[in-house]
Amino acid sequence: MPQARIAGIGMYVPENVVTNQDLTKYMDTSDEWIQERTGIRERRYAHRDQETTTTMAIKAAEIAIQRAGITPQDIDFIVFATLSPDYYFPGCGVLLQRAMKMKEIGALDIRNQCSGFVYAISVADQFIRTGMYKNILVVGAEKHSFGLDFSTRGRNVSVIFGDGAGAVVLQPSANDKQGILSTHLHSDGESAELLAMYNPGTHANYWSPNQKLANFDEAEIGEMFFSHKMIDNAQVFPYMDGPAVFKKAIVKFPEVINEALQANGLAASDINMLIPHQANLRIAQFVQQSLKLRDDQVYNNIQHYGNTTAASVPIALCEAWEKGKIKEGDLVCLAAFGSGFTWASALLRW
Which residue lies nearer to ligand COA by CB, 124 or 281?
A: 281
The answer to the question of residue 53 lying near ligand COA (CB under 6 A) is no
Q: Which one of 88-96, 121-129, 227-235, 240-248 is the stretch in contact with ligand COA (CB under 6 A)?
A: 240-248
3-state DSSP helix/strand/coil % of the chain, to nearest 5: 40, 25, 35
Q: Give the relative orientation of helices 116-129 and 312-322 as an angle to the nearest 10 degrees.
A: 80
Q: Are 295 and 102 in contact (CB under 8 A)?
A: no
CA 343 to CA 350: how far, in whole Å? Answer: 22
38 binds ligand COA (CB under 6 A): yes
**Rule CB under 6 A: is residue 283 a binding residue for ligand COA?**
yes
Within 119-158, the residues that bind ligand COA by CB under 6 A are 155-156
Amino acid 18 reads: V
Supply the minimum distance, in Å, between the C-beta of residue 30 and ligand COA: 6
Cβ contact 142:311 at 8 Å: yes
Instruction: Identify any residues that bridge with 164 across adjacent strands, giving them in sequence order.
Output: 142
Give the x/- contact pattern for ligand COA in 159-178, rule: CB under 6 A: xx------------------
- How many CB atoms are located within 10 Å of the residue 148 CB? 18
Residues 6+ apart with CB under 8 A from 51: 14, 143, 163
Which residues from 319-338 bind ligand COA, rule CB under 6 A?
338
Query: How far is it, in rounded angstroms, from Cα 113 to Cα 74?
Result: 28
Contact status: 81 vs ligand COA (CB under 6 A): no
Closest contact distance (angstroms) between CB of 279 and ligand COA is 4
Residue 144: CB minimum distance to ligand COA, A: 11
| Active site (catalytic) residues | 114, 277, 307
By CB under 6 A, is residue 37 in contact with ligand COA? Answer: yes
Name the burial class of residue 329, with classes exposed (0-12), middle (13-18) and buried (19+) by CB atoms within 10 angstroms of its CB: exposed
Using alpha carbons, list the distances in angstroms from residue 157 to 7, 34, 198, 327.
35, 11, 15, 35
Residue from the set 2, 18, 24, 33 that interacts with ligand COA by CB under 6 A:
33
What is the maximum alpha-carbon separation in the chain? 64
Question: For residue 96, which phi and psi values (nearest 5 degrees)?
Answer: -70, -45
Count of positions on this chain that bind ligand COA (CB under 6 A): 21
Q: In this structure, which amino acid lies at residue 196?
A: A
**Interface residues for ligand COA in 176-195 (CB under 6 A)?**
195
Among the listed residues 221, 243, 262, 292, the single contact to ligand COA using CB under 6 A: 243
* Site for ligand COA contains 114 (CB under 6 A): yes
Closer CB to ligand COA, 85 or 338, in the complex: 338
313 binds ligand COA (CB under 6 A): no
335 - beta bridge partners? 276, 345
CA distance 8 to 318: 9
Cβ closer to ligand COA: 61 or 197? 197
Residue number, 75 or 114, with CB nearest to ligand COA: 114
Q: Which residues bind ligand COA (CB under 6 A)?
A: 29, 33-34, 37-38, 114, 155-156, 159-160, 195, 240, 242-243, 245-246, 279-280, 283, 307, 338
